[in-house]
Amino acid sequence: MRTILRSISAGWRRLWSHKRFLFWLYFANLALALIPAFLVFSAIQESVDHSQMAEGLRQGFSDEWHREFRAEAGGFAETFTPAVTGIGAVLDGLDAWLSGKIFNQYAPILGLGVLLLLMWTFATGGVLNCYLGREHREPFWASCGRYFGPLVRLLLLAALFYLVAYRLLLPWVDQAVQTVNRQNIDERVAFAWVLAKYSLVLVYIFLVNLLFDYAKIVCVAEARRSALSSALAAVRLILRRPIAVIGLYAVLGVIGVFLIAAYALVAPGALQDTYLEIALAFLAGQLFIVSRVFMRLYYFASQSELYMLLAGAEAES
Amino acid sequence: MNPHSDHPADCALHRRAKGLPLPAALLLATLTGPLSAANYQMHVQLDVPSRTITGTQTITWTNRTSRPAGELRFHTYYNAWKTKNSSFLNSNRMQTRDFEDWHEDEWAAIELELLVVPARDGSVEYDLTTFLEYVQPNDGNSDDETVLRVPLPEPVEPGESLRILTEFEARVPRTFARTGFRGDYFFLAQWFPKLGVLEEEGWNCPQFIQTEFYAEFGDYDVSLTVPSGWVVGATGTLQDREDHPGGTTTHRYVQQNVHDFAWTTSPHFSEFEEEFTHERLRPVRMRLLLMNDHLGQRDRYFAATRAALRYYGEWFGEYPYDHVTIVDPAYQSRSGGMEYPTLFTGGTRWLQPDGSGDPEGVTIHEFGHQIWYGVVANDEFEHAWLDEGINSYATRRVKLEVYGRDKYVERYLDGFIPHLFPDIEISERTASGLGDTDSEFEWDTMSTPSWLYGPAPMRGVEADPNRNRVYGGGAYGFNSYTKPALMLLTLERYLGWDTFQKVLSTYFDRWKFRHPKPQDFFQVAGEVSEQDLDWFWEQTYHGSITFDYAVDGVVERGESGQRVVLRRWGEGLFPMEARVEFEKGPPVLETWDGQSRWKAFDYFPEDDRVMAVYLDPEGKLALDVNRTNNSWVREAPSELAGHKWASKWMIWLQNMMQLVTFFG
């Protein structure tokens, strides 16, 4: 536990000593979302134009308008639903992520996500280089470029594992749960099985995620070019100190869940009717997105610290 | 019985082949039949392990036409799930349904093992079992065995009654079309051999192609034998209960003047009873059978039933029975949201937030069917809208009166976890089944017989290209529920609530227990409103056109003043009103007969200007497919609205993109 706390605490310091990463990666997210958001804005504005429905949308939401809008909307605008309101935006995303529906999103949205993923992959080399305390050896941008290739290969390798999760494991478990529930007439029992199904899938996904987090760290820390060797080294690392590695992952996960719960408490609904209120609601949402970026970096920083602790201990022994 | 005979008259027996003891009195044909046209006395036993119902029936049927009847026709509904080639399983509505995981013993079948009728003079009885013949009056599909023809040895004269005795066995399906089993929950509808309706034109006994029904009124006396300890709910009231050695119990239910009999049984039901009382309406005992995972929703079921009893009773017609049974269907039993005489199924989820619409909506709706389907009892097979449409309209009105608008709900984790958005209300035009309108008007006309409604995409169901199944039952749903409900809502707002309420209550009073047709409803509407409404029915009932009126714009013409231009984009014609508001002066209410393609109004205020135009400001034309274009507001906050909702969408997008980075 002490190792975990030390990693978290040192990770926190690392994170804040390189807080520019947080802003860069947040702004990358923001920048990618701006143009689609403008297109949706234009579609909504054009749809309501001089209609009194505009007043309805200002005061709250108009389901009647939305049904008409949805029938004619195209492009990004066709993905607009009232489910984007407040915590709904987060729940919708989490549900899509967990169930694999995220890969069935409107293609340009998935494309933007992949683009952001590549931007992250590019930045990860530089970020980890700094978190590992090696920025004096190699400047940020240089390490971004240097490790981009190996990290993309790791990304592709990880994709295979995620493919197994969503295309094999989840459908298989889903079928099993359906079979078990075939004669069940109590929804609570069915829900327990569904929880079990997603728990199993989550455990798998988290283990893969954990493995490839350390594979990335190993890749940068040990300047490995091979994705496979990085992954195998990460496996060995995890197997040597599974409690510390998984414990750290879990503690950070709890912090992430706490942040989502906190946003759920303050997430604005549909009733903002002035620009100030709209701006404040937007700000709250952006803070949540910042917290998402923050948590990802916090994982990198803390896991890098843990890697260094474990590597140091190994060297001493 | 002469096995070589090809005429039923040659098979007269002094003793029936199967030797079933049958009192001679039971077989006596009577010339003075009961008021009801088809009375059923049944003794049935449910064998749970084999999921089989075996039973005997004594049917007393009266020919109420002016012509002799040379044959009988029975519905054998369960054969709709005997083969994949049945007409029902090949209907448009079933194209999205998959049967791959069905086990062999989960398909259904019903077989008449014996059918006996007496001679007119009672001297002999005829075993007609070998003369039974499946016929396909609707589509000629020889694989369909849902209508059984029974040639009679002697015709039944007008006014004459005939007693028929049958023995039958039905294998219960894995729940389909709201009948069947799941685990040890059984919901049994359309489960017994049931006579069609003899009309002047002949037998009206359609194949089972859709889940809309039509039958004669009659008295039912049904003894149901099930495992002891299992709770039973059924049409009618419990007369007595008798335990038998071997662990079975017989429950006897009796009900007069209904046209069907459904029942349910399971060891998992909890029973509750409450009383509905009202200063003008008859008291009704409400019996609720609730599944364990919904025990917390007991009060919501009762409150909704009470509201429905009250408002349907006050507005449309009094529920004529003194009891009603509400069945909360088992999880995934596919038996929810259906009506049967004096019994209906609701439907809810384990987690179902207040304000989400159910179980209140489905309870009110299914109770409402007691009035239209149950009592008025039109031929739903041909004119489903006359029940479903009127009831969807009525449900909406009661629901808004009692509960207001539903809140928007999203469900996550395979639909188990609901999240209610308290700030977002569902459109009142869409409450309780008044759904999307888009271009669905053009799919078919309402006047098409319901079972022939054309194929159309099923809302919310993705086509599976691998199975080449593109169509669902969209045109049926739209023309049976949505469009008629919007049509009636439009008529309510056109005639005024007081008049329209009187239209419906008169229709109920005049046609209860009489099987009306659409023309009868139109006649009542015209008579009560004292208006010729043919122009309305011609467009809405007979036509497949859309209504869309719009404010095209306000044109500034300098010294020539301002011109407000109204448009008719749709083909439908409806009288319009437009409220024009000015910056300084009082508003003006303009009228337009709505016949031309456009209409302009010119204004010449010296120092004033038009600030807003609201076309159809009271929303009378609920059939209008686009309400967004019904107004023009000079300073509409469209930019603010766009910023507000695009910014929310943007957060959704950012979160979604960020989730993708998890995989990196």
Predicted pLDDT at A181: 94
pLDDT in tens, B131-187: 999 999 999 999 999 999 999 999 999 999 999 999 999 999 998 888 999 999 999
Predicted pLDDT at B13: 44
Predicted pLDDT at B458: 52
pLDDT band at B215 (very low <50, low <70, confident <90, very high): very high
The C-alpha torsion from A209 through A210 and A216 to A220, rounded to 10°, is 160
d(CA A84, CA A102): 15
Predicted pLDDT at B432: 37
Would you say residue B431 has pLDDT above 50?
no
The closest CB to that of B426, out of A63, A69, A155, belongs to A63
Would you say residue B98 has pLDDT above 80?
no
Q: Do B629 and A63 touch (CB under 8 A)?
A: no
Residues of A whose CB is below 8 A from B653:
33, 36-37, 76, 109, 112
The mean pLDDT value of chain B amounts to: 89
pLDDT band at B12 (very low <50, low <70, confident <90, very high): very low
Predicted pLDDT at B10: 54
Share of chain A above pLDDT 70, in %: 99
Nearest CA in chain B to A114: B660
Predicted pLDDT at B121: 76
Predicted pLDDT at B23: 36
**Which residue, among B87, B297, B101, B253, has the nearest Cα to B177 in the 3D structure?**
B87
Q: Which of A51, A259, A263, A288 to mutate to test the interface with B (most CBs of B within 10 A)?
A: A51
Q: Do B641 and A194 touch (CB under 8 A)?
A: no
pLDDT in tens, B487-541: 999 999 999 999 999 999 999 999 999 999 999 999 999 999 999 999 999 999 9
Say whether the peptide bond before residue B359 is cis (omega within 30 degrees of 0). yes
Contact criterion met (CB below 8 Å) for B476 and B453: yes
d(CA B122, CA A296): 89
Residues of A whose CB is below 8 A from B330:
185-186
pLDDT in tens, A147-168: 999 999 999 999 999 999 999 9
pLDDT band at B18 (very low <50, low <70, confident <90, very high): very low
Q: In Å, how far is A316's CA from the nearest CA of chain B?
A: 32
What is the CB neighbour count within 10 angstroms for residue B530? 8
Q: Do B419 and A288 touch (CB under 8 A)?
A: no
Would you say residue B53 has pLDDT above 90?
yes
Q: Do A278 and B643 touch (CB under 8 A)?
A: yes
Q: Do B656 and A96 touch (CB under 8 A)?
A: yes
Predicted pLDDT at B468: 40
B59: which residues sit within 8 A by CB, 6+ positions away? B38, B39, B40, B41, B163, B164, B165, B166, B195
pLDDT in tens, B236-285: 999 999 999 999 999 999 999 999 999 999 999 999 999 999 999 999 99
Listed as own residue / partner, the contacts of A229-235 with beta carbons closer than 8 Å and 24 or more positions apart are: A230/A150, A230/A154, A231/A154, A231/A157, A235/A211
Region B635-639: mean pLDDT is 96
Residues of B whose CB is below 8 A from A188:
293, 350
Predicted pLDDT at B1: 37
pLDDT band at B97 (very low <50, low <70, confident <90, very high): low
ipTM for this prediction = 0.97
Residues of A whose CB is below 8 A from B349:
187
Burial class of residue B15, CB neighbours in 10 A (0-12, 13-18, 19+): exposed
Would you say residue B233 has pLDDT above 70?
yes
Nearest CA in chain A to B554: A50
Would you say residue B70 has pLDDT above 50?
yes
Q: What are phi and psi of A107, to 5 degrees?
A: -50, -45
Predicted pLDDT at B557: 84
Mean pLDDT by 10 residues, chain A (317 residues): 91 93 96 98 97 96 91 92 97 96 93 97 96 89 95 96 96 95 95 97 96 96 92 94 95 96 96 96 97 96 94 70
Predicted pLDDT at A205: 97
